């Protein structure tokens, strides 16, 4: 049965969690959005898939953002209760210690299970789907993928000027096309009613196939130019992107990683498991770090927590590289980082334990005597 105090604590923590997670997501998504726009501008994929990719990024980020967000949410919520003397009031009513933090520890378990599902199932799926979307875009589009209808677009340092009035519903066919192509001192001006892009399966070259149009060829300023009408004309615009080969380890299903014996696959599995363990160990660490005196500012504790989490992430990345390079044994792997963090949390909890205080008093009494 959840008491009123438990509901109050959980409500404060989850309100802070939602706010922190929202801010982190906005920061990460804004960076991804800018990066995707740059890729669209250089023609790596079509602008129509930007929001699909952003949605996948949002799902993928959850597994990495929930552990620190939950950690700092507990720090903020419980620390505020200490600073506002709410914890002192609860202790005066006989509610304190583990009784106060019990609902937080209980909430950490389902939170860890959620992160496990996101990290081991959803994130690899998102990486695979993102790679498939980009590969499909590269198979359909090219350097002209960033074309905006109704405006002139320059490519190849101005040697290719491309204009299209509109696209079909599926985005594969273009209508009312104008192309100015400069090569070897000659200028080709082409107008066509329709067009599409095609990759030659044998040579791998990419072509812009124009239909029902005219081609004007000659040198600017001279009258000896030629005009030709065509039913279909193929203009080579680049090479096809390389075919998608072996999938990256980050996109492989977790069960495949468990069945593999290679050290890189083991390291990838431990990397996916790290956010799950981070939720648990940093929940323990948040308990001593959240304690503060009434009217004491939160900046010191928050800064210390930030430094500890930054060190944790650095050691986690370093241990993964050491594991892959064989500098540490595979059985040790990345586990020691989580164990050390948990031991640090237990060490910070000791001064608050009754038995520890009694032992210290007895020790001081023996030294005095």
User: In this predicted model, what pLDDT tens digit does every residue of 170-197 receive, in sequence order?
Assistant: 767 888 888 888 777 678 888 888 988 7
Considering only CA atoms, give the Rg of the chain. 30
Q: Supply 79's token pair.
A: 């620390």
pLDDT-above-90 percentage for the chain? 16
Q: What is the mean pLDDT of residues 134-157?
A: 65
Give me the chain's average pLDDT, please.
80
Q: Is the pLDDT of residue 31 over 50?
A: yes
Q: Is the pLDDT of residue 15 over 50?
A: yes
Return the top range by mean pLDDT from 85-89, 274-278, 354-358.
274-278
Local confidence band at 142 (pLDDT 50, 70, 90 cut-offs):
very low
Beta pairing, strands 160-167 & 226-239 = unpaired
d(CA 82, CA 100): 12
pLDDT confidence of residue 245 = 47
pLDDT confidence of residue 153 = 74
pLDDT confidence of residue 116 = 94
User: In this predicted model, what pLDDT tens digit does every residue of 283-297 receive, in sequence order?
Assistant: 888 888 877 655 555
Q: Is the pLDDT of residue 143 over 90?
A: no
Local confidence band at 363 (pLDDT 50, 70, 90 cut-offs):
low
If one compares 80 and 74, the residue with the highest pLDDT of the two is 74
pLDDT confidence of residue 168 = 81
Local confidence band at 1 (pLDDT 50, 70, 90 cut-offs):
low
- Of 46-50, 228-232, 276-280, 329-333, least confident by mean pLDDT is 46-50
Q: What is the mean pLDDT of residues 130-139?
A: 72
- Of 119-133, 142-156, 252-266, 323-337, least confident by mean pLDDT is 142-156
Q: Is the pLDDT of residue 365 over 60?
A: yes
pTM above 0.75, yes or no: no
Q: What is the mean pLDDT of residues 210-224?
A: 79
User: In this predicted model, what pLDDT tens digit does every residue of 303-359 receive, in sequence order?
Assistant: 888 899 999 999 988 998 898 888 888 888 889 999 999 898 888 877 666 555 666
On the 0-12 / 13-18 / 19+ scale of CB atoms within 10 A, 202 is: exposed
Q: Of the candidates 150, 173, 172, which has an alpha carbon nearest to the alpha carbon of residue 163?
A: 150
pLDDT confidence of residue 244 = 47
pLDDT confidence of residue 273 = 92
Contact (Cβ atoms closer than 8 angstroms) between residue 183 and residue 161: no
pLDDT confidence of residue 215 = 87
Q: Where are the domains of the chain?
A: 152-239
Local confidence band at 140 (pLDDT 50, 70, 90 cut-offs):
low
């Amino acid at each position: 049965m959840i008491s009123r105090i438990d509901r109050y604590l959980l409500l404060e923590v989850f309100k802070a969690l939602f706010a922190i997670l929202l801010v982190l997501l906005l920061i990460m998504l804004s960076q991804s959005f800018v990066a995707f726009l740059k890729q669209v501008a250089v023609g790596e994929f079509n602008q129509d898939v930007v929001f699909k990719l952003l949605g996948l990024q949002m799902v993928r980020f959850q597994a990495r953002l929930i552990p620190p967000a939950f950690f700092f949410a507990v720090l903020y919520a419980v620390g505020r209760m200490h600073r506002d003397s709410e914890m002192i009031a609860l202790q005066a009513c006989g509610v304190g210690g583990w009784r106060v933090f019990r609902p937080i520890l209980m909430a950490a378990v389902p939170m860890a299970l959620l992160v496990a599902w996101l990290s081991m199932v959803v994130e690899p799926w998102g990486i695979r789907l993102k790679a498939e979307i980009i590969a499909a875009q590269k198979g359909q589009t090219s350097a002209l993928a960033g074309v905006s209808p109704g405006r002139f677009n320059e490519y190849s340092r101005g040697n290719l000027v491309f204009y299209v009035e509109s696209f079909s519903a599926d985005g594969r066919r273009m209508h009312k096309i104008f192309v100015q192509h400069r090569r070897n001192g000659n200028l080709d001006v082409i107008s066509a009613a329709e067009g599409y892009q095609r990759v030659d399966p044998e040579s791998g070259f990419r072509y812009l196939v124009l239909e029902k149009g005219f081609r004007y060829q000659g040198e600017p300023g001279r009258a000896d130019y030629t005009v030709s009408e065509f039913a279909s004309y193929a203009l080579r615009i680049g090479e096809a992107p390389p075919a998608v080969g072996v999938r990256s380890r980050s996109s492989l299903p977790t069960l495949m990683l468990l069945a593999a014996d290679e050290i890189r696959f083991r390291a990838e599995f431990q990397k996916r498991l790290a956010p799950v363990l981070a939720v648990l160990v940093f929940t323990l660490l948040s308990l001593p770090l959240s304690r503060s005196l009434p009217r004491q500012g939160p900046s010191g504790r928050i800064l210390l927590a930030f430094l500890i989490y930054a060190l944790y992430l650095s050691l986690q990345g370093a241990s993964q590289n050491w594991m892959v390079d064989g500098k540490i044994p595979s059985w040790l792997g990345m586990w020691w980082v989580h164990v050390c963090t948990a031991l640090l949390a237990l060490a910070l909890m000791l001064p608050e334990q009754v038995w520890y205080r009694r032992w210290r008093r007895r020790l001081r009494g023996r030294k005095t005597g």
